Structure 1
Amino acid sequence: MASFQKRGKTWQYTISRYVDGKLKPIRKGGFRTKKEAMEAAAEVEYMLKKGMVMQVKDVGFAEYFENWAHLYKNGKHKNTFKRYLNSVETVKQYFKDIPIQKITRQTYQEFLNWYGEGRSKETVRKLNTHIRSCVKDAIDDGLITIDFTRKAEFNASKQPKKSSEKHLNFMDSLRLYRYLMKKVKTANTNTPHLLLLALVSGMRYGELVGLTRDCFDFENNTIYIYRAWDYKDGEGFIDLKNTSSERRIGIDPMVMKIFKEHFENNQPTYNGIVFFRPTKSKTLTSEAANKALKKMLDELNIETKISMHGLRHTHASVLLYKGVSIQSVSKRLGHASIETTYDYYTHIIKELEERDEKVAVNLYAVNV
């Protein structure tokens, strides 16, 4: 049987429980209303009736989250694991030694609001995704009974980029393509080659700088993507983001011809890396590539300023615009699932649906 007490401005529940003949009650406070405390207590009592063992001893939220990340996410792609560790540091900074049992939906929402200052809603959402996975396991482990991430609001002070600002439209991408096709013939570095290949392939940056000469099949005009390069720390080749990322994609024959001539006129570099640089990272950094891209967009008077990752979005968006199926785009990009492609390019898909709807409505109009 549960009892309820008001402590200051919040409510606490106490559930009587005997373990091995000794009284070991379960208490939790911090609820805004008595109703919230009663709902939480009812959930605990229900789980106790089902025979679930409840952990009474407090466990620090940050401590549990960090252990959980190392246990379940260490096998993820290196960059993905780093993002989880960044989320752990954020939780440490805010919650410090506060037990996970003491966190309520209200205190968690206050945390998200704090984190959202100066950040976009998408950034807040990604942090919540990491924490929500951890919290679900904490419930399964019997540490807590309530998912305090449920119905969380992603408030943020920084406006995210508009969908149109993340990629170039078809005409601007065509102008950039023609510009790069000329630039590769006169440039004294292979940076234009990198930008050109990014535009026509849609590869991730790590995949691009991880390319070696053996990846290029000039007979069939394809590139085999089977590993990436750790361009941030320069520690060598790393696994691709997911199993679907290993793929063979067709490339513009004229672009392949440019690379064939480039290889014939230049000696192989360190490990055969195509975009090698004699620096700590061993390759062209993403910062340098973004800077070069921005300069070219300025020279072309293209108002939309995108990053290297924006070239990947541009490639996918143009494919969809040209009528390529979402399944084929997903496979070409190396997405883990088609749902990922839908999430990233919903804005483009909606535009195409509106265009297709007009075609459907006027399907037989010309024959009337």
Structure 2
Amino acid sequence: MASFQKRKDKWQYTVSRVINGKSKPIRKSGFLTKKEAMVAAAEVEASLAKGILPILKKIPFAHYFKKWIELYKEPKVSNTTLKHYQYSLKAVEDYFFDTPIQNIKKMDYQKFLNNFGSNKAKETVAKVNGHIKSCIKDAIDDQIIQIDFTRNAQVTWTVQAKKPIEKHLNYEESKQLLNSIYNKLNDNSGLGYYLLLLGLTSGLRFGELVGLTRNDFDFAKNTIRVNKTWGYKSSAPTGFGATKNEQSMRVIKMDGLTMDYFKKLFISLPTNIHQLVFFSPSSKYKVISNTNANKLLKKLLDELNIESITVHGLRHTHASVLLYKKASIHYVSERLGHSDIETTLKQYTHVLTELRIQDEKITVDTFENMAGVNIDFIA
């Protein structure tokens, strides 16, 4: 039962509450009218009736989101991934300012997404929305809020992201590139070609490639261990760093030809203090730069009259080739070091759609051939 008192020119409510036999009332003052105090008290009583401890102090959404990132994400994600969360945090800070998380309604959040997506690509808006949804789920679990204002929110965008098909080579183009790289290596060309070879045949991220050391190569088993990265840009930590996520710590099986080329390379390759494979003493970050690797790849593709892609596109090419050759989506996801299979499904929908058409034909042909029924007789 609530009671109300006027103190000077403001109203205060007192809601009775007993904990372990002791009276512990909830009080709050500062209301301009008695009616405002009565409405607020009714909300508190409704929360207590549901077994929910009411949050009397308003918490700015940006402040809660920042603390959530520091507690749940900062200790376990890579610096690169952490920057994505910090990007999302800035979007929240810029739009909501000091707005309490308890005051945000579904319409408010949709307006935020619409505003944010007014000059962004779908992938960017979806990532920010995903970060916020995870945060809000925990806010509900913590009883900070009771309603999920992100539920059924619509991601809106205006900038068209580059089509997936433009990010990778098809199977025939991949064959041409691979043979071109081997020709360059047979002519004793530079270390950059080895990086391109490994990018295509392993599917590693660039930071994983330049983070490889001699000890990561097991020539007896034809495997490569991935358990670290190397900082090759200003936003990354200097030297060795952690992998993108826990699933990125992996050992991948390699083809014998690629491993033979590296086995021969290690015989003549000068050693360095870090035992890095792609060490470059003249480079700012002491490894082959992403810029130079992209230039070398463009040069090769131009020679083959193939539309240019980036070195990261070799990773997409690797995955697309495996899927085209009917490797399972679960294996491809594990090989790429994705955090979950949903990431793989999302990135390679275009390839899976193409394969579905093939699978449908296989299904139809299989059961027609199994039947052994005289088709003319049925007709």
Please, what TM-score do these two structures have when normalized by structure 1? 0.83
Are 1:73 and 2:70 matched, yes or no?
no
Residues 14 and 25, structure 2, Cα contact 8 Å, conserved in 1 = no
Tell me the percent identity.
48
Residues 201 and 318, structure 2, Cα contact 8 Å, conserved in 1 = yes
Q: CA deviation at 1:198?
A: 0.6
Amino acid at match of 1:318: V
Are 1:310 and 2:313 matched, yes or no?
yes
Which position in structure 2 is the counterpart of 1:51? Answer: 51
> Structure 2 CA distance, aligned partners of 1:353 and 1:217?
36
Are 1:295 and 2:292 matched, yes or no?
no
Question: Secondary structure of the residue that 2:366 maps to in structure 1?
Answer: coil
Q: Aligned pairs, how many?
A: 341
Which position in structure 1 is the counterpart of 2:145? Answer: 144
Which position in structure 2 is the counterpart of 1:116? Answer: 117
Are 1:284 and 2:288 matched, yes or no?
yes
Q: Can you list the C-alpha shifts for 1:274-318, whole angstroms capped at 9, x where unaligned?
A: 111233422223333233323332232213x32222211111111
> Structure 1 CA distance, aligned partners of 2:173 and 2:164?
15
Are 1:256 and 2:253 matched, yes or no?
no
Residues 120 and 157, structure 1, Cα contact 8 Å, conserved in 2 = yes
Gaps in structure 2 of 5+ consecutive residues: 2-12, 17-23, 32-40, 375-379
Which position in structure 2 is the counterpart of 1:328? Answer: 331
Residues 270 and 276, structure 1, Cα contact 8 Å, conserved in 2 = no
Gaps in structure 1 of 5+ consecutive residues: 2-15, 28-40
Which position in structure 2 is the counterpart of 1:64? Answer: 64
> Structure 2 CA distance, aligned partners of 1:96 and 1:257?
57
> Structure 2 CA distance, aligned partners of 1:77 and 1:218?
29
The structure with the larger Rg is: 2
Instruction: Find 2:364's aligned residue among 350, 353, 361.
Output: 361
> Structure 2 CA distance, aligned partners of 1:44 and 1:179?
72
* Residue 47 to residue 273, structure 1, CA distance change in 2 (3 Å): same
Q: CA deviation at 1:156?
A: 0.8
> Structure 2 CA distance, aligned partners of 1:149 and 1:229?
37
Question: Secondary structure of the residue that 2:119 maps to in structure 1?
Answer: coil
Q: CA deviation at 1:66?
A: 0.9
* Residue 359 to residue 74, structure 1, CA distance change in 2 (3 Å): same
> Structure 2 CA distance, aligned partners of 1:144 and 1:70?
20
> Structure 1 CA distance, aligned partners of 2:106 and 2:57?
20
* Residue 25 to residue 342, structure 1, CA distance change in 2 (3 Å): farther
How big is the alpha-carbon RMSD for the aligned residues of Structure 1 and Structure 2?
Answer: 2.8
Residues 250 and 337, structure 2, Cα contact 8 Å, conserved in 1 = yes
Please, what TM-score do these two structures have when normalized by structure 2? 0.81
Which position in structure 2 is the counterpart of 1:156? Answer: 157
> Structure 2 CA distance, aligned partners of 1:186 and 1:17?
86
> Structure 2 CA distance, aligned partners of 1:94 and 1:226?
38
Q: CA deviation at 1:325?
A: 1.9
Residues 26 and 56, structure 1, Cα contact 8 Å, conserved in 2 = no
